[in-house]
A and B are shown apart, each in its own frame.
Chain A
Amino acid sequence: MSAFSIPVPEHQPQWNLPARGPVAMYCLIAAEAAIFTIFVVAYIFYVGKSATGPQPATVLHAPIFLTVCLLSSSLTIHIAVRSLRKGNVGRFAWWWCGTVVLGGIFLAGTAREWRHLIYQDGLTIQTNLFGTTYYSLVGLHAFHVVMGLGALTLVLAFAIHGDVRPEHSERTEVLSMYWHFVDAVWVVVFTVVYIIGR
């Protein structure tokens, strides 16, 4: 059963399409941005509407240090990826490790903040609208940090084991796009929760 004959060109012309990894990651970022937008909208909608229970102005204290850590981790991951692209795997591993550490500090700090809120201030997800929207939004972000850190740690393990090579720089760049997104979301969450919402 033969089909149509397609002529084969003698020379292949220049044909450059975008790489599929970054395109897919941009799509994922768009989808995640939409999810976060809905949670942010809910948060803003319910600002000031909690009739009882702890209020943002009394219990929230802007986590400046944690924010600096997280945003710096964007810088460190950027340096790491650039190093790998230039061929320097050792430098890559160190800066990548720094990113993981900074992300870990952020998570640990968030956990500490939540422990204080729950046990000292009596704010849980059930307490009032503020509690529900706060823990959902910040928690969703923290979940994405956890997912990101998991992926970053895996790559760190590969790097330590010596399996990461300069030709993997595009893949690490795709991962770093996700990490930058997580940081950008934190900027929005921080602004909405600790600045506007208070």
Chain B
Amino acid sequence: MSTASITIGHASSERPPLVETLHQWVTTVDHKRLGVLYILYALIFLVFGGIEATIMRIQLIRPHNDFVSPEVFNRMFTMHGTTMIFFAAMPIVFGFANYLVPLMVGARDMAFPRLNAFSFWLSAFGGFLLYFSFLGGDGLYGAGNAPDVGWFAYAPLTSQTFSLGHSTDFWILAVFVSGLGSMGTAINIVATVLCMRCPGMTLGKMPLLAWLNLVMGGLVILSMSPLTAAQLMLLIDRYLGGHFFDAQAGGSAVLWMHFFWIFGHPEVYVLAIPAFAFASEIIPVFSRKAIFGYPVMVAATLAIGFISMSVWAHHMFTVGMTAAGNTFFVLSTMAIAVPTGIKIFNWLATMWGGKIQFRTPMLFCVAFLFQFLIAGLTGIMLSAAPFDWQLSGSYFVVAHFHYVIVGGILFTVFGAFYYWFPKMSGRMYNEALGKLHFWLFAIGFHLTFDFMHIPGLLGMPRRIYTYEPGRGWDIWNLIVTIGVFFQAAGTLVFLGNLLWSKWRGVAAGSDPWDAWTLEWSTASPPPAYNFAVLPEVRSRRPLWDLKHPEDPDWHYE
């Protein structure tokens, strides 16, 4: 090592006029600003999706309720699913990836900054297009022209025969356009991780977040395209008189299902793998220990990514595949449980023997471990095809996947917000409000999604705007709806905390958590160029090596 060193300072400047600030934000190609744009965009759509869910839950609070008409309800569940997957969860994942990946691999920006901006604005346009559908028809009161075919838009319900007007087209085009944006971002992430790492950072020395986002990018590239292809086919059917999914002409509704789920299943891993990445960065820091079993964590993630492309028809166990077909997908789905379980054990082992600090990010990650475990176990139940023949299409499945996406993914996303908020804003959030958010949201989450399993076991199908009394479902639906209000309260506390802390929070400094990856070596928020001089690393935790020169990681790796 040399003796020269550079201290990175934070340049202060006068605030420019508002118009110029807006212009900078709209034309930015800086990965950090695009990351923030993605995240803010996702938060807005998270709130919209939450409102749609609340409307549904109020309608279902008791049997034969008439809070909304069946048409409105059907539009609500379609918009809720489409919004949450494509315009809340994916942008959040891309936002954090955009912000963190270049910083963590010691680069100045993503590989293709202008492609980055273009991809963001494409995806954003997709969201606006989808919500534009509310105008038209009866307008907002009747939920307008919003699509009502369910977020997986099964054929032939989506054909011109059964979906008159343009509501389905809004679904197709909005998702298609944002899918192109997603592919651009995924290409960017892969190119950044493979081509822009700082000197010394071999693939085996990257932070796990970089590895997991690399796998996520690969999955998007391979899995988004089948959906794009299927949507092109659907457009051809609807507007050019094609027969891909036209039963009258010999077309196959099952073909759509295959194509959709070939996208749909890897998609949930696209969302889950970055959630794993957040947990893999937060849990070690707050346990004060290195991640346990880094090589196996990488291998398990690669295995998950690979196997996830072969499990899709477990969404189709009820469509009448042969016994052999069903058996194959049972096997592949059960197989994917093994690397996933390994990851849970590794996180647990990271905490074992540590010195655990229960700050807000860690609270969310510990809850994630508990909840993702349950989600995985209900997944194993669903993987047993005969059991799935009862549970599929029921509220049990709805409870399962919300357990994964809310209890697993959203919880780690909240953890990531609190963990990296100091880096992104330069301020500390309010810890008491953070804990309040956690407890409110956790109580609400469990009220809603624990008890939601029961109506499924008692025979309640999904996507119904009302139900018969006397089926034993009433009390559970009531409890499920009550939980929604706790979650809403928690979310409001969260948003309030973010806003208040952004302007009034205590200055955070560059490394408030005493962490070990490269993003904590630069100012908070980082300057536009990230690092004055590109760092050179010798281990997976470069800052640990600097803070513990007597016991650096590269002795052991």
Direct contact of A and B (CB under 8 A): yes
Pick from B192, B230, B237, B251: contact of A38, CB below 8 A: B230
Which B residues are in CB contact (< 8 Å) with A125? 236, 240-242
Determine whether A4 belongs to the interface, using a CB cutoff of 8 Å to chain B: yes
A155 CB to nearest chain B CB (Å): 19
B39-53 near A? 1/0 per residue, CB < 8 Å: 000000000000000
Determine whether B229 belongs to the interface, using a CB cutoff of 8 Å to chain A: yes
Also in contact, A8 and B249, with CB within 8 A (given A18-B195, A24-B191, A28-B187): no
Stretch at the interface among B73-81, B286-294, B363-371, B515-523: B515-523
Interface size on A (CB < 8 Å)? 44
Also in contact, A1 and B194, with CB within 8 A (given A8-B2, A35-B226): no
> Bound state CA distance, A38 and B259, in angstroms?
7
> Bound state CA distance, A133 and B4, in angstroms?
66
Whether A45 lies near B255 (C-beta < 8 A) is yes
- Give the interface size bracket for B toward A: 35 or more
Whether A2 lies near B10 (C-beta < 8 A) is yes
A130-163 near B? 1/0 per residue, CB < 8 Å: 0011001000100000000000000000000000
Q: 8 Å CB contacts to B: which residues of A103-128?
A: 124-126, 128
Which A residues are in CB contact (< 8 Å) with B196? 17, 20
Determine whether A39 belongs to the interface, using a CB cutoff of 8 Å to chain B: yes
Also in contact, A19 and B195, with CB within 8 A (given A31-B183, A42-B255): yes
Seen from chain A, the residues whose Cβ lies within 8 Å of a Cβ on chain B are 1-10, 12-13, 15, 17-20, 23-24, 27-28, 30-32, 34-35, 37-39, 42, 45-46, 49-51, 124-126, 128-129, 132-133, 136, 140
Q: List 26 A-B contacts (CB under 8 A).
A: A1-B523, A3-B10, A4-B521, A4-B546, A6-B5, A6-B521, A6-B535, A8-B533, A18-B195, A20-B112, A24-B111, A27-B187, A30-B222, A31-B183, A32-B225, A34-B229, A38-B225, A38-B259, A39-B229, A42-B259, A46-B250, A49-B250, A51-B250, A126-B242, A129-B251, A136-B236
Nearest first, the 9 closest Cβ-Cβ pairs linking A and B are: A126-B241, A34-B225, A38-B229, A3-B510, A1-B10, A15-B199, A20-B195, A4-B521, A132-B242
Seen from chain B, the residues whose Cβ lies within 8 Å of a Cβ on chain A are 1-2, 4-10, 111-112, 183, 186-188, 190-192, 194-197, 199-200, 217, 221-226, 228-230, 232-233, 236-237, 240-244, 249-252, 255, 259, 262, 426, 507, 509-511, 520-524, 531, 533, 535-536, 543, 546
